[in-house]
Amino acid sequence: MSEKIARKHQNQTNRARPRNGIDKKVVYKSVLENPFCVEWPSMSPNVQNMLLAHVVQHLDGVSAYHSAKHTMNRQSRKRRSEGISSRKRRGETSQSDERTTPDSSGECTKENYDNAKSPEIVHHMTIGINEVTKDLELQARTARQTLTSGAETSDNATSHCSKLVLVCRGDINPPILIAHLPQLVASCNLTSSSHGPSLRAPKVWLAPLAKGAEESLAQALGLRRVSVLTIKSTAPNFPELLSLLASIPILTPPWAQPSTPGTSLHILPTHIKQLRTTAPKNIKEARQKKVQAKILARSRKKASRSTMTKIPHRAVIPPKP
């Protein structure tokens, strides 16, 4: 009986806002669910909090490094803009005086930046949805190329390693921004599990975090927002996280797993979702308004073209000597 209960999917969309003031009604459309999808891994709140605390502890010193780097970039842009404006005011074309004049602010900024040396973990992590997506795509691609060629290069070895992907799932809105990550992580694990015995089989753990984790990671990194963070297995103190990662299931696409002899095929039941959307109450009136709007737009475009062709070209009369 519990399997027949309808599941409710709540995904916010920008199309839910009313437009044009047309009276609409709520309608439901039947949509066939895609069976080739990978669900998010289930994690207990205790494991989420412990994993977040360990990661924040390992990010000690990264906030000061990013703050010093941001200050140096801001001051260098300010000096560059001030130098350009001063040269424009004085009308100088040479930069000889500027090269010989020492810049005390630049020395101070460089000194502050050198004092805040980059922590070792900075070179073993990736920040941001786009950058993490590119990194995972590169890992899946290189693993597939290594599998077909049978040889592992140094570049593939550096990019093809175990990783922990932390996703602030409770803080990201809309959730469609990170909906591709489970599928991508499963693809990486699939290519890794297909390696022969001579090659290593790295794993990619996907850890969704609860609401409020983004603020903690942003403070630890010294950034405004941190939606997704990837930590490589080559990072220092990464073995300390393995005890917590043991409780996180490894995502793999179930339809791509090789079938063992003697096992029967399991067919997934058909799941039809009812999509809640809106439609005009008077469809005939809405269609007429749409046609009238198109006719009006065409007439305006035609009128603008006709006015442009009617403008006479003025002849340029040369001045008398």
Residue 269 corresponds to which tokens in the numbers above? 């039941």
Q: Note whether 78 and 227 are same-domain residues.
A: no
DSSP letter at 168 equals: -
Q: Note whether 168 and 233 are same-domain residues.
A: yes
H/E stretch holding 160 = none
Nearest Cα to 231, choosing from 44, 54, 46, 40? 54
**Residue 247: burial class (beta carbons within 10 Å; 0-12, 13-18, 19+):** middle
Residue 218 corresponds to which tokens in the numbers above? 């942003």
Q: Note whether 126 and 79 are same-domain residues.
A: no
C-alpha radius of gyration, the chain, whole number: 30
- Max Cα–Cα distance, the chain, nearest Å: 104
Interatomic CA distance for residues 178 and 174, integer angstroms = 9
Residue 238's contacts (CB-CB under 8 Å, 6 or more residues apart) are 124, 164, 231, 232
Asked if the structure places residue 5 within a domain, the reply is no
Q: Note whether 48 and 148 are same-domain residues.
A: yes
Query: Can you give the residue range of the structural domain that contains 43?
Result: 37-54+121-252
- pLDDT score for 106: 43
188 and 30 Cβ atoms separated by less than 8 Å: no
Asked if the structure places residue 152 within a domain, the reply is yes
Number of domains in the chain: 2
**Residue 223: burial class (beta carbons within 10 Å; 0-12, 13-18, 19+):** middle
Q: Note whether 161 and 188 are same-domain residues.
A: yes
DSSP letter at 265 equals: P
Residue whose structure tokens are 């490094």: 65
CATH of the domain at 183: 3.30.1330.30
pTM of the model: 0.65
Asked if the structure places residue 214 within a domain, the reply is yes
- 1-53 pLDDT, tens digit each: 445 555 565 555 555 555 556 688 899 999 888 888 888 999 999 999 999 99
**Could you list the pLDDT tens digit for every one of the 321 residues in the chain?**
445 555 565 555 555 555 556 688 899 999 888 888 888 999 999 999 999 999 999 888 887 887 777 777 777 777 777 677 666 666 655 554 444 444 444 444 454 544 457 788 888 999 999 999 999 999 888 766 665 555 555 455 555 678 999 999 999 988 999 999 999 999 888 866 555 444 456 889 999 999 999 999 999 998 889 999 999 988 888 888 888 899 999 998 887 776 677 777 777 788 888 888 888 888 888 889 889 999 999 998 888 887 766 656 555 566 666
Nearest Cα to 47, choosing from 247, 236, 226? 247
- pLDDT score for 102: 42
Asked if the structure places residue 137 within a domain, the reply is yes
Q: Note whether 66 and 161 are same-domain residues.
A: no
Q: Note whether 114 and 244 are same-domain residues.
A: no
Asked if the structure places residue 104 within a domain, the reply is no
Q: Note whether 113 and 157 are same-domain residues.
A: no
- 215-251 pLDDT, tens digit each: 999 999 988 899 999 999 888 888 888 888 999 999 9
